Amino acid sequence: MGVARYEKNEKDAITEVIYQSGIKVKPTYGPKDLEAVGFDYEKDLGDPGQYPYTRSLHPLGYRSRAWTTRQYTGFGTPQDTNERFKYMIAHGQNGLNVAFDLPTQMGYDSDSPMAEGEVGRVGMAVDSLQDFEIAFKDIQFDRIGSGLTINAVASIMLAMYQAVGEKFGYAKEQISATPQNDILKEMIGRGAWIFPVEHGVRLVCDTIEYSVKHLPRCNPVSICGYHIRESGATPVQEIAYAFEIAKAYIDNLVGRGLAPDEFVGRFSFNLNVYGNLWEQVAKFRAARKLWAKMLREQYGVKQDKNLYLRGLFGGGGSGLTKEQPENNIIRGAYYALAAALSGAQTTALCSFDEAYTIPTPRAALLSLRTLEILMEEVGLRDTVDPLAGSYFIETLTKEMEERILAEMSRVQEMGGMVHAISTGFIQREVTKQAYEFEKSLQHGEVTKVGVNKYVEGEQPEVELHEYDDSWVGTQIEKLKDLRRARSDKDVTQSLKTLEQTARTGGNVMPVLVECCRSYATVGEITAVFREVFGEWNEPRLF
Amino acid sequence: MQDKKIRILVAKPGLDGHDRGAKVVCLALRDAGMEVVYSGLHRTIDEIVVMAMQESVDVIGLSIMSGAHLPICRRLMERLKEKDLADIHVVVGGVIPKNDIPKLMDVGATGVFPGGTPFDDIVTSIRSWF
């Protein structure tokens, strides 16, 4: 949950403040502190929109454009999801963020025995292109971009998104999608991986390479410090591991003969906002700067726009509590403030009932309103990077930067991210942090309101999204009808080509688009990959 | 039976990959002196039973976030009975609504520890069975 540790004396005065990243905070800061960390305006900040972009990617920040809001949505049937999409768009949301159910994320069809009890539970069930045709009906593909929150089979979903866009009459150059597509972070936290590490990375990089060549408006990877942090990592580890993951993908693509300038501009990040407000702001400012510097100095990236750390700063799920759930509304507002003070380009906020289950429409709308109030009522669009020049914030930003670099060095010493994940090093580091945090919460060293302080007895009832599985039979019937109606010849042929391409190492994306067009199912396509690549054997952690 | 170390298999059944809680509990049980085996992700009930048998564990701890804890627990109990392993204690953790706790106990769980249960409570309960 990531709040700081406070030591107090007998009079309840604070004697020591230690952030999750280990930084000790002083009672006051002044010009001498900036001197001590070697702060230099031009070198460390630059004006907004100027290298190294610590202050902002754009010279006018939110003055020119408020953030994009992209609440995570999707449950049940494609039809239900379509209705919820339209509801959110009608209420002012300008991008979609699609949730998939676990069988889809793990490459099983709704009628697979592995899918039992999970169809449509945590997101929408997708078996074939037919489901996308329903889910995205009447969505303007040239205006609304979609985040596709899926990883192991992100390549299939991006291909399907292209296929459905084309079916609706949009050219592939018009469609805008951001598949999450970060398999390495799934292996650290969240756990929706299928294939061994090297094959997982290959699929990620196939999508990136394909997008660079054929889908100009798609951002094919969203690197997620977010879930690493949700799994227990500190803010410093969150950024360090995300950057080391990014480097693993960059190195793979460079190995294919691509120049970083051709593709790094398509990378985006998904980073977490919960925790101590100042630590979060400093983290994002340090991250923007380090990313730009790393790309320029280590990878020779030349174009300014390719140096931008773009992404979604939001969520905050781990900060929410089941206890006194309405407190989460307040927490969400402060987390959103952290995102706004950090210059988040895109944001989304976990809803107050998400410590229990996926949000009700009312809760999701409340999150959207929280974001709108910040932008339109309380002055977050007034001026760019309003905390810049603060003795405290600038000192903290420098300290975060140093710690992130040190943590990145540790990963490099382990042989880089792919190796560090294969051996379980990163997973053990993150679990250790999660354990330490849980202990300090249980011992009352870290305060969580409603959990270990200001505790109330009985909890108020919360209206919850109910999982309704009465339609699962219909989804399965629909799938069976589809299998009867489609051309077996086309399906078999496209899957056969896929198998050959997967084996020979060519880019699988063009043939995946063909597979989707032939209405091959997600389960059938993934089965081909499972056959060729095998499945990942997790390293033993304990 | 305090001399013998309690052996416990912490298992993640099903497709859900959120294993922060399971792994943290592994460390807490290990620090409490138990021998802990972690199943890893995406396990079927049959795989969990085989692991429990191979590792000769005294306790199986299921970590379930998906809401499917009742059917999963029921199936595990059936399989354990079939394999003559009914003496293994089964405990359940994860996202478990309060109302489901007595239902899980009826199905045959020896203990239910929803997310946020203090480590000391989990350890004390498990020790009390041996």
Q: Are the beta carbons of A191 and B16 separated by less than 8 Å?
A: yes
Could you tell me the pLDDT band of residue A1, with boundaries at 50, 70 and 90? very low
HEC string for A139-184:
CCCCCCEEEEECCCCHHHHHHHHHHHHHHCCCCCCCCCEEECCCHH
pTM: 0.95
| Alpha helix positions (H), B45-92 | 45-54, 69-82
A24/chain B closest Cα distance in angstroms: 26
User: What one-letter code names the amino acid at A9?
Assistant: N
pLDDT of residue B66: 78
Q: The tokens of A182 are what?
A: 């970060």
- CB distance from A464 to chain B under 8 Å? no
* B72-117 pLDDT per residue, tens: 999 999 999 999 999 999 999 998 888 899 999 999 999 999 988 9
Angle at A191 between CA A190 and CA A193, to 5 degrees: 130
- CB distance from B86 to chain A under 8 Å? no
Average pLDDT over chain A, rounded to an integer: 94
User: What one-letter code names the amino acid at A106?
Assistant: M
Inter-residue contact A110 to A127 (CB < 8 Å): yes
Q: Are the beta carbons of B40 and A540 separated by less than 8 Å?
A: yes
* A20-58 pLDDT per residue, tens: 999 999 999 999 999 999 999 999 999 999 999 999 999
Q: How far is residue A7 from each of residues A448, B58, B70, measured CA to CA in Å?
A: 15, 41, 43
- Give the Cα separation of B109 and B74 in Å (integer): 9
- CB distance from A247 to chain B under 8 Å? no
Q: Which chain B residue lies closest to A443 (C-alpha atoms)?
A: B118
Residue in A180, A193, A430, A442 to test binding to B, most B beta-carbons within 10 Å: A442
Question: Residue A52: is the preceding peptide bond cis (ω within 30°)?
Answer: yes
Residue in A182, A224, A431 to test binding to B, most B beta-carbons within 10 Å: A431
Percent of chain A's residues with pLDDT above 90: 83
State the ipTM, two decimals: 0.94
Chain B CB contacts of A469 below 8 Å: none
Q: How many CB atoms lie within 10 A of CB A358?
A: 21
Mean pLDDT of B34-52: 96
Q: Which chain A residue lies closest to B39 (C-alpha atoms)?
A: A540
* A473-520 pLDDT per residue, tens: 999 999 999 999 999 999 999 999 999 999 999 999 999 999 999 999
pLDDT of residue B110: 97
Size of interface A-B (CB pairs under 8 A): 83
* A285-304 pLDDT per residue, tens: 999 999 999 999 999 999 99
Q: How many CB atoms lie within 10 A of CB B93?
A: 23
A172/chain B closest Cα distance in angstroms: 33
- CB distance from B65 to chain A under 8 Å? no
Residue in B8, B12, B18, B20 to test binding to A, most A beta-carbons within 10 Å: B20
